[in-house]
Amino acid sequence: MVAKLVLDEISSSGSGITIDSSKTFTVNGSLLSAGSTNILYKIIDHPIVEADVSGKSELIVTTTPGSPRDITLPTVGTTGAATCIITVVVSADATGTQSVRVMNGGSEAWTGYQKGDFVKFCVSNGAWLVLDHKETYYSRFYLTANQLLAASASTLLSGWTEVSDIGNMWYSVGNEIVTPTNMTGFLDVSFSLAKNETYAGTNPALKLDDVWLANWDQGGHSTDGYVTNTGMCGGIYPVTSAQELEFWGVNNDSDTTRTVTGAIVSATYFNAKFTRTY
């Protein structure tokens, strides 16, 4: 016979209530095990299951990058999921095209690349909601060699050398930054154009999806080349999925070919950082 005790309240005059280690304790259908937080370390793909979240207020999964490494959220109806905050943390820097992805069903919900990147989820209104996140998308390149700009010409600069590329935004064939697919956010860009000639009327310019994003066109000078110019442009721009950012040089001098200086990391270069929004 199984004994059954029905109580409205349990109280204790001591510091706590002890349940025999051979017994289990269930609250609202969820097994309550030791501790309120479950911490897992994974070096392979891992689908989060009921046993990971049931009886827990928080699940933390730390994992190494893979090609990619996938951590899959449970369905919102999984026992324990609705009351458990899930955090996924990248535990090592990614190399090459590696990443850590959090999958919601068959869809990407978050991607991280560098040690310390993380995302935190909870169930809200019957769906997984991002509470907090940090992911690294950063590119820094410099112009590999000097490049000529014809008189009165706007020229796409080509041939860049990588200093840092985290998040795989750089597309070398098109000499452009491509924002991550199926993501929205802000692109923070700084673009410096160097010249090795006195009074050279050249300026840097940016195009986003073939539309000028930044280009101060001052007009040319026909004889002596004394043309006002800028050396740097950029800003913080809202972007959407797979938009193409290009780096251009503009020669405002109408009668002289000018040279953009390359081959030096601090000469003609750009920095680009993408911040994802939800």
Q: Is the pLDDT of residue 50 over 50?
A: yes
Predicted confidence at residue 222, as pLDDT, reads 46
> What distances in angstroms separate CA 23 from CA 19, 26, 28, 32, 266, one per listed residue?
7, 10, 17, 11, 67
Predicted confidence at residue 267, as pLDDT, reads 94
Task: Let me know whether 101 and 128 are in one domain.
Answer: yes
Task: Let me know whether 201 and 116 are in one domain.
Answer: no
Greater model confidence, 106 or 5: 106
Q: Does residue 189 fall inside a structural domain?
A: yes
* Euclidean distance between CA atoms 107 and 159, whole angstroms: 35
Average pLDDT over residues 252-257: 83
* Euclidean distance between CA atoms 263 and 270, whole angstroms: 13
CATH label of the domain that carries residue 79: 2.60.120.1230
CATH label of the domain that carries residue 204: 2.60.120.40
Task: Let me know whether 145 and 103 are in one domain.
Answer: no
Weakest-pLDDT range from 16-20, 35-39, 82-86, 198-202: 16-20
| Domain end (from 134, 149, 172) | 134
Please state the domain count of the chain.
Answer: 2
Weakest-pLDDT range from 1-15, 103-117, 182-196, 204-218: 1-15
Q: Does residue 3 fall inside a structural domain?
A: no
* Euclidean distance between CA atoms 53 and 31, whole angstroms: 10
Q: Is 185 left (phi over 0), alpha (psi -120 to 50) or beta?
A: left
Q: Is the pLDDT of residue 10 over 90?
A: no
Apex 141 CA angle, 257 and 237, nearest 5: 90
Predicted confidence at residue 114, as pLDDT, reads 96
Look up the domain containing 30 and give its range: 26-134
Task: Let me know whether 150 and 62 are in one domain.
Answer: no
Predicted confidence at residue 31, as pLDDT, reads 58
Q: Is the pLDDT of residue 224 over 70?
A: no
Task: Let me know whether 104 and 152 are in one domain.
Answer: no
Q: Is the pLDDT of residue 94 over 90?
A: yes
Q: Does residue 20 fall inside a structural domain?
A: no
Contact, 267 vs 260, CB < 8 A?
no
Q: Does residue 145 fall inside a structural domain?
A: yes
At 209, is the pLDDT very low, low, confident or very high (cuts 50, 70, 90)? very high
3-state secondary structure of 257: coil
Task: Let me know whether 203 and 242 are in one domain.
Answer: yes
**65 closest CA partner among 102, 40, 37:** 102
| Domain end (from 80, 103, 134) | 134
What confidence tens digit (pLDDT) does each residue in 116-175 have? 999 999 999 999 999 999 999 999 999 999 999 998 899 999 999 999 999 999 999 999
Contact, 130 vs 99, CB < 8 A?
no
Q: Does residue 110 fall inside a structural domain?
A: yes
Lookup: tokens for 142: 């410099």
Predicted confidence at residue 1, as pLDDT, reads 56
Q: Does residue 239 fall inside a structural domain?
A: yes
| Domain end (from 134, 161, 193) | 134
Task: Let me know whether 262 and 157 are in one domain.
Answer: yes
Predicted confidence at residue 141, as pLDDT, reads 98
**133 closest CA partner among 114, 118, 115:** 118
Q: 215, exposed or middle or buried, with CB in 10 Å at 0-12, 13-18, 19+?
A: middle
